[in-house]
């Protein structure tokens, strides 16, 4: 098999997981890392055993050994790096959000289509075996047409006023915090699993901590403050909590809540799809189980067991029943899907619909978040999602 060269821009929290995931595939070489400086890139490259380190993303894009560019920089660099990578005709795997605004995301969709490159956004929960099982079963009609999609994505890492991240600064993270960072995952998952589109939203958003203590030194992503740390008090303009009502294109209704200030919820993504016959619920923190609810017989709890899930999605499970698979395994499944397209020279389009999220899906996520913010701005009325 022809080997494929991967280069990654930004190797903070999530970047090393991109590296780990593609290495599992067996036919991908991680050839280079680009960081915010030559020194930080070298440090990361040494730690991860990557041969080349660049102090700028432009230098990485100029490297002919890099065929696929992974963009794991903070949000404000997504558009610039993605656009530059497409201009060099590299395949692009962008971390979410695709861009800071839907308008920028639309430009990237058009640019990627014209360049004919494989384009993907890491809405990684799609890679979970039981997510694919639910999607397959719903498509087959097991639960009947979906009528109600409900859920949440709750975390607690921003619950204290000493918790801080670039995600809270609109010029680096975008106009939204909780909705853009994690609500976008929920919306993508709901649409992917159900096969439906969110058409209208009604949002109520809150900034529960309007002033935070921003550390004056540097701190790793998701790291709590230490007692001796110096800080400045800053105003926070983005939401850390939101409730959203939804309408879908088949007439189904729904709602979800997101929060980064909910104690005890670490990465608590829950999606339930209630159909006309049965319901299905998947919870990320218990990702090896799928709840199936019935009216006329006992409810079921399906385990992630390759011998129990459908043959069409069995390849997403790599260990026998009872052997738990997790976040990093699902991330690797996503990369397997994306690199399968790259290796086969296939373009993600209507003729070859991929299981992974494309730039078009990334655009939709940006457009949904913008519509929710617009709804909240208007005093929480219904707003149509731009198509």
Ligand X SMILES: NC(=O)c1ccc[n+]([C@@H]2O[C@H](COP(=O)([O-])OP(=O)(O)OC[C@H]3O[C@@H](n4cnc5c(N)ncnc54)[C@H](O)[C@@H]3O)[C@@H](O)[C@H]2O)c1
Q: Interface mask (CB under 6 A) for ligand X, residues 308-347, using x and -?
A: ----------------------------------------
Q: Does 27 bind ligand X (CB under 6 A)?
A: no
Judged by CB under 6 A, the residue of 22, 67, 91, 95 near ligand X is: 95
Binding of residue 13 to ligand X (CB under 6 A): yes
Q: Which residue is nearest to ligand X (CB)?
A: 12
If one asks whether residue 10 binds ligand X (CB under 6 A), the answer comes out as yes
Q: Which stretch binds ligand X (CB under 6 A): 32-40, 136-144, 250-258, 340-348?
A: 32-40
Q: Which of 72, 102, 105, 134 binds ligand X (CB under 6 A)?
A: 72
Residue 75 binds ligand X (CB under 6 A): yes
Give the nearer residue to ligand X in terms of CB position, either 21 or 196: 21
Per rule CB under 6 A, is residue 223 in the interface with ligand X? no
Of 57, 186, 356, 363, the one binding ligand X by CB under 6 A = 57
Tell me: does residue 208 bind ligand X (CB under 6 A): no
Q: Is 19 among the residues that bind ligand X (CB under 6 A)? A: no
Binds ligand X by CB under 6 A, chosen from 6, 22, 34, 367: 34
Q: Choose which of 7, 35, 203, 354 interacts with ligand X (CB under 6 A).
A: 35
Nearest to 318 by CA among 305, 327, 331, 301: 305
Residue 36 or 206: the one with the smaller Cβ distance to ligand X is 36
Whole-angstrom distance between the N-terminal and C-terminal Cα of the chain?
39
Contacting positions for ligand X (CB under 6 A): 9-15, 34-36, 40, 57, 72-75, 77, 95-96, 122, 124, 181, 221
């Amino acid at each position: 098999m022809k080997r494929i060269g991967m280069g990654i821009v930004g190797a903070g929290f999530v970047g090393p997981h991109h590296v780990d995931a593609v290495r599992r595939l067996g036919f991908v070489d991680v050839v280079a890392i680009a960081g915010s400086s030559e020194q930080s890139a070298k440090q990361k490259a040494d730690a991860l055993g990557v041969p080349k380190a660049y102090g700028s993303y432009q230098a990485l894009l100029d490297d002919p050994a890099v065929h696929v560019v992974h963009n794991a920089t903070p949000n404000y660099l997504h558009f610039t790096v993605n656009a530059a990578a497409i201009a060099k005709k590299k395949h692009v795997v962008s971390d979410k959000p695709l861009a800071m605004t839907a308008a920028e995301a639309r430009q990237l969709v058009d640019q990627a289509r014209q360049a004919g490159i494989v384009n993907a956004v890491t809405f990684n929960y799609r890679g979970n075996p039981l997510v694919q099982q639910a999607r397959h079963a719903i498509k087959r009609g097991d639960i009947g047409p979906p009528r109600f999609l409900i859920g949440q994505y709750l975390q607690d890492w921003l619950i204290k006023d000493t918790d801080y991240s670039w995600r809270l600064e609109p010029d680096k993270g975008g106009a939204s915090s909780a909705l853009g960072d994690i609500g976008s995952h929920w919306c993508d998952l709901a649409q992917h699993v159900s096969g439906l589109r969110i058409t209208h939203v009604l949002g109520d958003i809150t900034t529960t901590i309007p002033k935070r203590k921003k550390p004056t030194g540097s701190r790793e992503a998701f790291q709590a403050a230490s007692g001796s740390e110096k800080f400045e008090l800053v105003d926070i303009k983005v939401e850390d909590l939101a409730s959203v009502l939804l309408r879908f294109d088949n007439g189904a209704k729904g709602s979800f809540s997101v929060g980064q200030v909910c104690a005890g919820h670490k990465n608590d993504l829950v999606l339930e799809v209630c159909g006309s016959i049965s319901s299905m619920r998947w919870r990320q923190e218990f990702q090896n189980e799928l709840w199936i609810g019935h009216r006329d017989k006992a409810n079921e709890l399906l385990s992630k067991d390759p011998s129990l899930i459908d043959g069409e999605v069995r390849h997403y499970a790599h260990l026998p029943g009872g052997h738990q698979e997790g976040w990093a395994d699902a991330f690797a499944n996503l990369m397997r899907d994306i690199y399968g397209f790259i290796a086969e020279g296939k373009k993600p389009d209507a003729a070859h619909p991929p299981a992974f999220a494309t730039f078009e899906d990334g655009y939709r996520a940006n457009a949904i978040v913008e519509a929710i913010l617009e709804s909240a701005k208007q005093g929480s009325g219904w707003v149509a999602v731009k198509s």
